[in-house]
Amino acid sequence: MNKLKGIAASGGIGIGKALVLGKEELTAPKTKISHEDISKEIYRLEEALIETRKEISNLQKKILHDLGFDHAKVFEAHLLVLEDRVLIEDIIQQIKTKKVNVEYAFSQSIKKYIDTLLKLEDEYLRERVIDIEDVSRRVLRKLLKKETINLSGISEKVIIVAHDLSPSQTASLPKENILGFVTDVGGRTSHTTIIARSLGIPAVVGLEVATINIKSGERLIVDGSEGMVFVNPAEKIIKEYQKRLTKITKDIKTIHVSKLKATTQDKREVIVSANIELPEELSLAHEYGAEGVGLYRTEYIFLGRRELPTEEEQFKAYLNVARKMKPYSVIIRTIDIGGDKFLSHPQVPVEMSPFLGWRAIRFCLARPDVFKTQLRAILRASVEGNVKVMFPMISGVGELREAKKILEECKKELKHENVYFDEKISIGSMIEVPSAALTADILAKESDFFSIGTNDLIQYSLAVDRANEKVAYLYEPGHPAVLRLIKSVIDVAHQNNIWVGMCGEMSGEPLFAFLTLGFELDEFSMPPPRVPRIKELIKNVKFEDAKAIAEKAVKLATAKEVEKYIQDELKKILQDDFDRILLV
């Protein structure tokens, strides 16, 4: 038996045969062509691009249906590569001037494209390179007349083992036959990890040598909660894990979506709401028992288009969500373009350090025309009475004041036009930058509520690029610095009589949901499928226990100590229900 340790990425247990995905090697031979063949080669390029575009569009529709907009938008980058006129013209120029076949010209242009990005030494561009490599393999297969590797054809239940999974590979996998993911690279927030959690599939990532030490057909146990992978385990271990898996499978059926409030055993009531991007996700929010929308990401209205959306378009979208979510509240976050989300609009440049650059509230304040159009639409939708507005990436009170000033201008305009809106609309500050956390006492005096965005707060506090697998192990939600920031934000907010929510990944992870319950967090917001489990956890614990455990946990020295301590304490509290609630 071989035991491998990696990053615990998606909880649960998977037992089954390994399917190792090797890295596909596609070689484009160089062939000289005649002048008469040039037009034929260019035509072949156009055909390959069209076919690939259709293929990717179909994948995008599939993942939109299965997982929602947040995952489907990954393919926008693929489609942009296929429409990149600079790249296409370079390929055509090579065919014409060097008189080489299209396969060779294409592979050379792509290599030059990737080499240029890599020389810039910007770690963020790693994700962009993955997109380019992914889509270029698809185009090259068309040109070489090789069949696309069809992972959707996997007909038996397997555990996928790969160096990494590209977005299109992940989208192609038949989720009903995937028992787990094991990858050499990746971290808690890698694309594969997020997909695995969304699908409820156990995953261990960042193993580095998984594809070397595991062969197809070997029996594996994937413990996604502990970050362990057992290769050809002993019968005794198999039986032990099968027993746990049987219990989890049986008990998951007893977790019904509760329409009741999330209330602890000693009667503390909290809100468990949903993060959404598309209006179509509202049905999931209702289905899973969400008590409102704690984060309505509005970027989908702006992405993948050449023209900015009109006020009327935005108003209809926001009004639709507000009406369908009544009587629960809807927190609309103003546009958070930048970081990993880009406008296709020609006046919005792509930056070298997008996570630290011209994004979110910075973009909005620099482009009041775009900002005011959105704020007017939000205000008009607030006539339903359940709409709140939230500003992202606030780094200090100056930005908050400027944003509120523009909001007031929009209110005056609408009053002058005799348009009704909620004049007392609640205004929230998103706490995702350390400077905001450290000046929360100032921000609280000018905010109606806070929402803690843990994904960015962790990244910025620990100086960890969450897209870079080399430092993924340092991205630790349980790091004492992160916990102290979160606790101080909640404490300061309550001292100033405002409530606090959390809309990052941490709120949907049971260990940290329990911890932040002890910090006295008021609202948890997460992807809809995670709502039932967090509700179930809250209903099975006492607030006073969570408070006492959180008080000790925040004094521990490392993230590993924190997670182990909370897990051990929860096992004592939940006993036989621990696997059912924590590991599903």
- Range of lowest pLDDT (193-207, 263-277, 309-323, 359-373): 193-207
Give pLDDT tens digits for 238-285: 998 988 887 666 555 555 555 678 999 999 999 999 998 777 678 878
Please identify which residue in the block is written with the tokens 């930048």. 338
- Give span(s): CATH 1.10.274.10, the chain: 35-144
One of 3.50.30.10, 3.40.50.150, 3.40.640.10, 3.40.50.10490 is the CATH number of 2-23+151-250, namely: 3.50.30.10
- Give span(s): CATH 3.50.30.10, the chain: 2-23+151-250
Angle of helix 74-82 versus helix 125-144 axis, rounded to 10: 60
> What is the spatial distance between Cα 68 and Cα 255, in angstroms, rounded to a whole number?
23
Residue 372: Cβ within 10 Å count:
17
> What pLDDT, on the 0 to 100 scale, is given for residue 112?
86
> What pLDDT, on the 0 to 100 scale, is given for residue 345?
42
Residue 405: Cβ within 10 Å count:
10
Mean pLDDT along residues 476-491: 96
Of 191, 364, 410, 479, the active-site residue reads 191
219-233 in b/e burial notation, b at 16+ Cβ within 10 A? Answer: ebbbbbbebebbbeb
Active site residue 364: no
DSSP letters, 341-361, are: B----TTS---SSGGGSS-HH
Give pLDDT tens digits for 154-190: 889 999 998 877 766 766 778 788 999 898 887 765 6
Determine phi and psi for 182, rounding to 5 degrees. -135, 125
Contact assessment for residue 540 and residue 577, using Cβ atoms and an 8 Å cutoff: yes
> What is the spatial distance between Cα 237 and Cα 232, in angstroms, rounded to a whole number?
10
Pairing assessment for the beta strands 13-21 and 7-10 based on DSSP bridges = unpaired
> What pLDDT, on the 0 to 100 scale, is given for residue 425?
97
Active site residue 191: yes
Contact assessment for residue 389 and residue 423, using Cβ atoms and an 8 Å cutoff: no
- Give span(s): CATH 3.20.20.60, the chain: 269-582
CATH class of residue range 35-144 = mainly alpha
Token duo for residue 367 = 């482009």
∠ CA(127), CA(128), CA(133), 5° rounding?
100
> What pLDDT, on the 0 to 100 scale, is given for residue 325?
94
**CA-based R_g, the chain, Å:** 25
For residue 160, give Cα distances in angstroms to 31, 174, 294: 37, 11, 34
409-437 in b/e burial notation, b at 16+ Cβ within 10 A? Answer: ebbeebeeeeeebbeebbbbbbbbbbebb
Give pLDDT tens digits for 426-460: 999 999 999 999 999 999 999 999 999 998 899 89
Q: What is the mean pLDDT of the chain?
A: 85
Q: Which CATH architecture has domain 269-582?
A: Alpha-Beta Barrel (3.20)
pTM for this structure? 0.65
